[in-house]
Amino acid sequence: GAVVSQHPSWVICKSGTSVKIECRSLDFQATTMFWYRQFPKQSLMLMATSNEGSKATYEQGVEKDKFLINHASLTLSTLTVTSAHPEDSSFYICSASGGSSYNSPLHFGNGTRLTVT
């Protein structure tokens, strides 16, 4: 089946530093990838839609300068948390689909647990 690889699986960083999270589709091309944030015992919250070759579309309330998204190829999207602060600590997860229609399942990476100290 389709595989999405997300790296790193966990990261601890100091306040003020930046952290890059990678999301790769391993056996299919993904023109669109999605980035989510999840707080403990809550559902996934869509942060942004990453489109290959164009700017990402951010959801309302998500700071685009804080969460930089780059989708440079059909198999790789990156999320950079810039100048991280403790309130950015969360579980970040990406998803990708080989198709954009309603009946194309989305496959998820295993998530990245970010802790900012």
> Locate tokens 């198999």: which residue?
75
**Interaction of residue 102 with other proteins, rule CB under 8 A:** yes
Out of 43, 54, 61, 65, the only residue in the binding site for other proteins (CB under 8 A) is: 43
Q: Is 110 in the site for other proteins (CB under 8 A)?
A: yes
Task: Burial-class residue 13 by CB neighbours within 10 Å (0-12, 13-18, 19+).
Answer: middle
Q: What is the DSSP letter of 16?
A: T
Nearer to other proteins, 33 or 81 (CB): 33
Per-residue buried b or exposed e for 39-62, using 16+ beta carbons within 10 Å of the residue's own CB: eeeeebeebbbbbbeeebebeeeb
Query: Binding to other proteins by residue 7, rule CB under 8 A?
Result: no
Least CB distance from residue 16 to other proteins, whole Å? 26
Rama region for 101: left / alpha / beta (φ>0; ψ in -120 to 50; rest): beta
Using CB under 8 A, which of the segments 14-22, 62-70, 74-82, 108-116 binds other proteins?
108-116
Q: Exactly one of 47, 50, 107, 116 binds other proteins (CB under 8 A); which one? A: 107
Q: Interface residues with other proteins (CB under 8 A)? A: 34, 41-44, 46, 49, 91, 93, 95, 100-111, 113
